[in-house]
A and B are shown apart, each in its own frame.
Chain A
Amino acid sequence: DTAVSQTPKYLVTQMGNDKSIKCEQNLGHDTMYWYKQDSKKFLKIMFSYNNKELIINETVPNRFSPKSPDKAHLNLHINSLELGDSAVYFCASSSGLWRNEQFFGPGTRLTVL
């Protein structure tokens, strides 16, 4: 049973394109997150939704737009992709915001050419 799943696993695209990454969790959690892991393995939070409401929106270019159609899904749409967007994007979920052990998805490796 996959707890947090992401699609696609790999994404290779040209600069300027628009792409989406999908995330689904079957843990019944209320809170979902998107993290970016750069080439030096540093993980930084981008967004968080709690009960479908955006609660964390870090300093991220507005080309990045999260969408949560329901509590089990949090998708990430990226417009006008740039070379610097190349990274591994991880989705995560937790049962809430307090004492929030987070469960991570397998990651999506995005390569922008």
Chain B
Amino acid sequence: AQSVSQHNHHVILSEAASLELGCNYSYGGTVNLFWYVQYPGQHLQLLLKYFSGDPLVKGIKGFEAEFIKSKFSFNLRKPSVQWSDTAEYFCAVSKNRGSTLGRLYFGRGTQLTVWP
């Protein structure tokens, strides 16, 4: 079955540590890739997106992600996390054609806890 996998369910880091959250997808063809963040009690906000072009994408708040087509991966990174980065992070995928056009498929999320 087609899916989006986030391998880390809960990541705990100290401030200033580096972060990498994994995301793999199993959809064939051209895909659009997203990382969303959900702070406690809030709605989802877009961190960054990839449609085409440079596979290294920079987003808000110092986050970046790298699309590796051969690995079907879109991992999220941040060189130095802050306490305020504590949140749930969701990877999402959509396709540009076919009967599933418009659907955004989410991974199960990774809870990031940053200790001050």
Contact = CB atoms under 8 A, between A and B. Distances in A.
Interface string B22-40: 0000000000101010100
Interface residues of A, number: 27
Contact of A101 (B34, B43, B106): B34
A105 B90 CA distance: 16
Interface string A19-35: 00000000000010100
Interface stretch (B13-21, B65-73, B74-82, B97-105): B97-105
Interface in A25-72: 31, 33, 40-45, 48, 50, 55-56
Contacts of A48: 102-103
B43 A56 contact: no
Interface of A: 4, 31, 33, 40-45, 48, 50, 55-56, 90, 92, 94, 97-107
Q: Which 4 A-B pairs have the closest CB atoms?
A: A97-B102, A104-B44, A43-B106, A106-B43
